[in-house]
Amino acid sequence: MDPSVLLALVFVAILVYALYALFYTPAKIVGAILWRGVTGSVAIWIFNLVAGVWGWHLALNPVSALVVGYLGIPGAAALAWLQHAIGTL
């Protein structure tokens, strides 16, 4: 094999690895944030479905979805307490 071809193959392999490393981690982080937002939205929807019987509800927006997605039940309780403390619940 010609040395210039071998050098080009090594360069392409390094370039592919660098691009993979550059885009994989941010894509993984964005995917995790989106997943937390979706699970938080579903949790708030279920909370609103169940607690709506008593007239309670939580606003379904990206911030509250991410809070509930990351913190879980304590996050939903904190949002409900915050709405109660402000007087909108």
pLDDT in tens, 29-85: 999 999 999 999 999 999 999 999 998 889 999 999 999 999 999 999 999 999 888
pTM over 0.85: no
C-alpha distance from residue 5 to each of 9, 10, 18 (Å): 6, 9, 20
Res 89 pLDDT > 70 = no
Tokens found for residue 40? 């938080």
CB of 53 closer than 8 Å to CB of 47: no
pLDDT tens per residue, range 15-44 = 999 999 889 888 999 999 999 999 999 999
